[in-house]
């Protein structure tokens, strides 16, 4: 079965064609990726310091068709070869979701194909199955993106249990807001990570929020405020030496990354212990973070569990993960998810409410 995937939930337009045959015959799932096109709107939103929903929607309209052509060219397939269309139904920006949903459904209707609405986070949390080492069910998923921070127990396709989540800012949001405080462009996650590499360890005693809360929830807004306080204190010193300013930013970035990584790693370890799972997957944009990956690898060795990552290019939003998650849902019995002609997007959507019975 060839599934077309369309992702338009936020500021990336992603289109991909996925063949389920390798997965169904026990071969590595990534062999099914036949073609893909991705356009990031980051440059367009940068001047505004964040995503402007209306601009995002309009840009998805401009990009989606050329990206479909690109994916078809790359795969050597024709529209007539597609067997189903998967699209991100939610959560995300309403206008942006509507573009993908309208496009996917119109195409499906025109080609007389089934269409399936995919939960964006399901796309992220199944994407490590497209990596080199695949996790075994049940596993724990640490989902860290710009909009979400969640620990989920994944017992199978469509079998998700929320174990803990952030009470305020998402991890990616904390990275982006802190980046802004350190004078970096939006979205600053990757830039902070690079800056932190030049920083000295332990220069600032930043909080590690909810490290000992006893549960699996997170909170990151206090950490961002602690960074802001350090920035204000430093500005009060009226330092003009560019080298000193740059070193201050690098040291603070390092302490910030150390704090956030310590909390994410500790809670992941706790989730594994609590559930008895031996496999952890890291997914979502923050999953591209080097320091987090290094720390998880280290802890995994010491604690005898395995960590799995999606291919680096599939950490941030993309069409492949939507095509793949949609394909696995379509292969599952009683998936109950193929959608009607209505534009039924779900800008707010709890993943567990979409579990398979």
* Contacts to Zn ion by CB under 5 A: 145, 317
Q: Which does 101 bind (CB under 5 to 8 A by kind): Zn ion, ligand KG4, none?
A: none
Q: Which does 190 bind (CB under 5 to 8 A by kind): Zn ion, ligand KG4, none?
A: ligand KG4
Nearer to ligand KG4, 84 or 143 (CB): 143
Cα–Cα distance for residue pair 330/325, rounded to 1 Å: 9
H and E: helices and strands count for the chain: 11, 10
Six token digits for residue 231: 């920035």
Nearer to ligand KG4, 189 or 199 (CB): 189
Nearer to Zn ion, 12 or 251 (CB): 12
Nearer to Zn ion, 35 or 91 (CB): 91
At 164, is the secondary structure helix, strand, or coil?
Answer: strand
- Long-range CB pairs of 41-45 (<8 Å, 24+ gap) are 41/11, 41/12, 41/13, 42/11, 42/186, 42/187, 45/11, 45/186
Cβ at position 218, least distance to ligand KG4 in Å: 15
Pairing of strands 306-308, 115-119: unpaired
Phi-psi region of 30 (alpha: psi -120 to 50; beta: other; left: phi over 0): alpha
Nearer to ligand KG4, 149 or 230 (CB): 149
Nearer to ligand KG4, 107 or 151 (CB): 151
Nearer to ligand KG4, 48 or 79 (CB): 48
Asked if omega into 46 is within 30° of 0 (cis), the reply is no
Q: Which does 131 bind (CB under 5 to 8 A by kind): ligand KG4, Zn ion, none?
A: none
Cβ at position 122, least distance to ligand KG4 in Å: 12
Cβ at position 290, least distance to ligand KG4 in Å: 7
Cβ at position 188, least distance to ligand KG4 in Å: 6
Cβ at position 272, least distance to ligand KG4 in Å: 22
Residues at the contact surface with ligand KG4, assessed by CB under 6 A: 10, 145-147, 172, 175-176, 187-190, 193, 284-286, 288-289, 316-317
Cα–Cα distance for residue pair 84/127, rounded to 1 Å: 19
Cα–Cα distance for residue pair 328/325, rounded to 1 Å: 5
Q: Which does 158 bind (CB under 5 to 8 A by kind): ligand KG4, Zn ion, none?
A: none
The answer to whether residues 189 and 285 touch, using CB atoms and an 8 Å cutoff, is yes
Q: Which does 189 bind (CB under 5 to 8 A by kind): Zn ion, ligand KG4, none?
A: ligand KG4
Cβ at position 317, least distance to Zn ion in Å: 4
Phi-psi region of 175 (alpha: psi -120 to 50; beta: other; left: phi over 0): alpha
For the sheet with 159-165, list strands across it.
159-165, 149-156, 139-144, 279-283, 306-308
Six token digits for residue 84: 């189903």
Q: Which does 268 bind (CB under 5 to 8 A by kind): ligand KG4, Zn ion, none?
A: none
Q: Which does 193 bind (CB under 5 to 8 A by kind): Zn ion, ligand KG4, none?
A: ligand KG4
Cβ at position 283, least distance to Zn ion in Å: 9
């Amino acid at each position: 079965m060839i599934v077309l995937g369309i992702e338009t939930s936020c500021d990336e337009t992603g289109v991909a064609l996925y063949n389920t045959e390798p997965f169904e015959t026990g071969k590595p799932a990534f062999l099914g990726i036949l073609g893909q096109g991705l356009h990031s709107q980051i440059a367009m939103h940068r001047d505004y310091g964040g995503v402007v929903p209306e601009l995002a929607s309009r840009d998805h309209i401009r990009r989606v068709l050329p990206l479909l052509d690109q994916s078809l060219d790359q795969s050597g397939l024709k529209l007539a070869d597609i067997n189903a269309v998967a699209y991100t139904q939610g959560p995300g920006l309403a206008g942006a979701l509507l573009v993908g949903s309208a496009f996917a459904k119109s195409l499906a209707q025109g080609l007389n194909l089934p269409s399936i609405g995919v939960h964006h986070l399901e796309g992220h949390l199944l994407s490590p199955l497209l990596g080199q080492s695949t996790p075994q069910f049940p596993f724990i998923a640490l989902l860290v993106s710009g909009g979400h921070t969640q620990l989920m127990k994944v017992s199978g396709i469509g079998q998700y249990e929320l174990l803990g989540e952030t009470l305020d800012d998402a991890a990616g949001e904390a990275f982006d807001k802190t980046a802004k405080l350190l004078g970096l462009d939006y979205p600053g996650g990757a830039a902070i990570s690079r800056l932190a590499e030049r920083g000295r360890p332990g220069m600032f005693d930043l909080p590690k929020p909810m490290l000992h809360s006893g549960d699996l929830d997170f909170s990151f807004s206090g950490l961002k405020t602690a960074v802001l306080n350090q920035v204000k204190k430093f500005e009060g010193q009226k330092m003009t030496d560019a080298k000193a300013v740059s070193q201050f930013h690098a040291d603070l970035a390092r302490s910030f990354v150390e704090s956030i990584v310590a909390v994410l790693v500790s809670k992941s370890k706790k989730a594994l212990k609590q559930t008895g799972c031996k496999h952890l997957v890291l997914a979502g944009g923050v999953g591209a973070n080097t320091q987090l990956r290094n720390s998880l690898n280290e802890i995994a060795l010491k604690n005898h569990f395995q960590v799995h990552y999606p291919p680096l290019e599939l950490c941030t939003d993309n069409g492949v993960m939507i095509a793949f998650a949609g394909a696995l849902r379509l292969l599952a019995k009683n998936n109950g998810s193929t959608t009607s002609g209505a534009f039924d997007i779900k800008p707010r959507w709890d993943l567990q409410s979409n579990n398979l019975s």
